[in-house]
Structure 1
Amino acid sequence: MPFSGLYAYRKQLLAEGDAHRADASQLAERYTTAAEQLGHDQAAVRLAGVYALARLADDWAEQRQVCIDVLCAYLRMPYEPDPYGAEHKAGEREVRRTIIRVIRDHLQQPDAPTAWCEHNFDFTNVVFDGCSFSTSHFRGTVTFSRATFSYRTVDFGRATFSGDVDFGRARFDSDVDFGRATFNGDVDFSRTTFNEGGMVDFGGSSFSGMVDFGRATFNGGTVDFGSAIFSGRMVTFGRATFNGGDIDFVGARFSGGVVIFDDATFSGISFNWGPLHTPTGA
């Protein structure tokens, strides 16, 4: 390569390096600003921080998981949903619901360049007082361990979980819709509590991994597995407690293993398997 050509090439590399560093510095500044906004006392400023961090995640693929982690960490912070509670913060419900909407919007189109579907989500101990993850695609690690679901309906209808999902020790005080959801990995509902009056709908859902409701507690309400498909190696309700309410498996299909109710306790429960669908171990 002639000297002049080599000089031009090196100059181009240096310019590109300077531009990359400038871009990285600008992105880092945007991150700092958004994080500061999320910690502001005023709800309107926190909302601005949510949108700013979401836009940053779209623009900064290398640090997208970090931005997602910050939003999830915000949801994991202590939250008082009762407007009359001593720790209640004005406008906080709208901030939290906005975060959930932003996350859901980024889980709708897995092939989009700004999709968050391949990333991980940690909702441990989060209080969900009304939200929707309907038609979302979770392809990374996702946990709702010890989460509390309250206030109207939490919607996972037609959601897809490509990996394992953890709802262990979660508490459902509201209606929850998993209708036609797809679970391709193992599903953990162990020690989960379904409280009186709630409707938990798994109707038409598909489970291809192990499903664990071990030691779960069903306190009234209705749990519907109608027309669900279980093709994994095992579905267990071992040591689960059923205190009233309805459990419906009408039309459900079990093709991959057994359903186990060892040491389960039943009190005033209406259990409907439907014709010709009683699995081994029931």
Structure 2
Amino acid sequence: MNNPLQPRPKQDGRHTPSLWPVWLVAPGALLLVGAAAFGLYHGAELLLSSEATGKKPVGVQDVIKTTVTVLTLIGAVLAALYAYRKQLLDEGTSHRADATQLTERYTKAAEQLGHEQAAVRLAGVYAMARLADDWPEQRQVCVDVLCAYLRMPYETDTTAPAFRHGEREVRLTIIRIIRDHLQDPTATNTWCEHNLDFTGATFDGGDFSRSNFSGGQVSFRRSTFSSGEIDFGLSKFSGGLVDFGGSTYSGGQVDFSHSTYSGGGVSFNGSTFSGGQVYFRGSTYSGGQVSFNVSTYSGGQVNFSHSTYSLGQVNFSHSTFSGGQVSFDGSTYSGDTVSFEYLRIQPAAAIRWGPFPAIPVNEP
């Protein structure tokens, strides 16, 4: 929380001078003028009274002095009001200059993101991220632009006509910048409580490790994790809603190992695990709701081993295990934390249940 008794901090990228808030300066100036007027008034009164003790009429010179004093005080008040108004106008002009400059920076960064050359697009990524830090009022807009870039069609096949050289580096840079802004929820430039929309994006790598999903809405709905290494390890899901619903894991390695789920909601409903390796091992489920309902496990490896289920609700109901390998070995749970109702398990599926009790299964 900002201290109202401190001058406004200077922000990078802005031109507004470091001024005391007007609402604090103006009343303070009026109070000082009032106190000075009160003192001068009583001083003049005592002076005139002492000179009139001998029943002599007050001299014209004394009256003139008193009048001049009063006029001077009035002038001081008017000058303070004028200064107050001038400061308001100056601040308004500065804010308009700020808005113009920030808008120009936004336009330039957006143009760079659409450039044909990957190096220019990279410059646009860094420019947009810096602008988000400098422009809290429009930070969400800048974040939305970076997320929208990841949602654009992306060709991972190097032999395809639509493949763009350097595009993968641009996308990995965006992911890394977003990750860096999700590390500390208390930082002044944090993006933890902002919405992040990756709906339908294609990921062939990226580092989201140690991210704090503590607020806002984060969507990976219908995203495709097709190759490379995508790291969510040691992340904390403590608030808001993180939605991986309908996502596809068809190759590469996606790692959620040692993550903590202590609040909010995380949904993998309707996801398809058809290839590659997906790790949830060593995770802690101590609150909130984590749902894998109606998911399909048809290939690859999905590892939930050595996890702890102590509070909250983790739900695997109505899921289908038709192939691949799924492991819950070494996990611990308490009460009704985990639900495996109405599963469909086919012989081709290799499942290691570990310590879980008998699983109610609907045979295919």
Q: TM class, shorter-chain normalised?
A: over 0.9
In the aligned structure 2, how far is the partner of 1:200 from the partner of 1:89? Answer: 28
Gaps of 5+ in 1: none
Q: Does 1:240 align with 2:320?
A: yes
Q: Does 1:201 align with 2:276?
A: no
In the aligned structure 2, how far is the partner of 1:280 from the partner of 1:74? Answer: 43
TM-aligned CA deviation for residue 234 of structure 1: 4.6
Say if 1:125 and 1:145, in contact at 8 Å, map to a contact too. Answer: yes
Matches within 5 A, 1:173-252: 173-183=251-261, 184-196=263-275, 198-207=276-285, 208-230=287-309, 231-252=311-332
Say if 2:296 and 2:319, in contact at 8 Å, map to a contact too. Answer: no
In the aligned structure 2, how far is the partner of 1:279 from the partner of 1:101? Answer: 42
Looking at secondary structure, tell me which structure has more helix per residue: 2
**Aligned-residue CA RMSD in angstroms?**
1.8
In the aligned structure 2, how far is the partner of 1:205 from the partner of 1:223? Answer: 13
In the aligned structure 2, how far is the partner of 1:281 from the partner of 1:219? Answer: 19
Which one is further off, 177-186 or 227-236? 227-236
Q: Structure 1 pair 146/254, CA: closer, same or farther in 2 (3 Å)? A: farther
Which one is further off, 36-45 or 237-246? 237-246
TM-aligned CA deviation for residue 257 of structure 1: 3.6
Out of 123, 136, 144, the residue aligned to residue 198 of structure 2 is 123
In the aligned structure 1, how far is the partner of 2:343 from the partner of 2:333? Answer: 23
Say if 1:193 and 1:216, in contact at 8 Å, map to a contact too. Answer: yes
Aligned equivalent of 1:144: 220
Which one is further off, 261-270 or 154-163? 261-270
Q: Residue 178 of structure 2: SS of its match in structure 1?
A: helix
Aligned equivalent of 2:67: none
Say if 1:126 and 1:147, in contact at 8 Å, map to a contact too. Answer: yes
Aligned equivalent of 1:259: 339
Instruction: Tell me the TM-score normalised to structure 2 length.
Output: 0.73
TM-aligned CA deviation for residue 13 of structure 1: 1.2
Aligned equivalent of 1:165: 242
In the aligned structure 2, how far is the partner of 1:149 from the partner of 1:18? Answer: 49
Count of aligned residue pairs for this structure pair: 280
TM-aligned CA deviation for residue 209 of structure 1: 2.8
TM-aligned CA deviation for residue 131 of structure 1: 0.6
TM-aligned CA deviation for residue 256 of structure 1: 4.5
Q: Which runs of 4+ in 1 moved over 4 A?
A: 279-282
Q: Residue 112 of structure 2: SS of its match in structure 1?
A: helix
Q: Residue 195 of structure 1: SS of its match in structure 2?
A: strand
The aligned amino acid for 2:312 is G
Aligned equivalent of 1:65: 140
Out of 88, 94, 111, the residue aligned to residue 186 of structure 2 is 111
Out of 91, 95, 100, the residue aligned to residue 166 of structure 2 is 91
Q: Structure 1 pair 229/279, CA: closer, same or farther in 2 (3 Å)? A: farther
TM-aligned CA deviation for residue 174 of structure 1: 2.0
Question: Cα deviation per residue 1:183-207 (whole Å; 9 max; x = unaligned)?
Answer: 22222212211123x2211112123
Question: Cα deviation per residue 1:56-85 (whole Å; 9 max; x = unaligned)?
Answer: 000000100000000001110111011111
Instruction: Tell me the TM-score normalised to structure 1 length.
Output: 0.93
- How much identity, in percent, do the aligned residues show? 51
In the aligned structure 2, how far is the partner of 1:121 from the partner of 1:170? Answer: 16
Higher relative contact order (CA 8 A, sep 6+): 1
In the aligned structure 2, how far is the partner of 1:67 from the partner of 1:254? Answer: 43
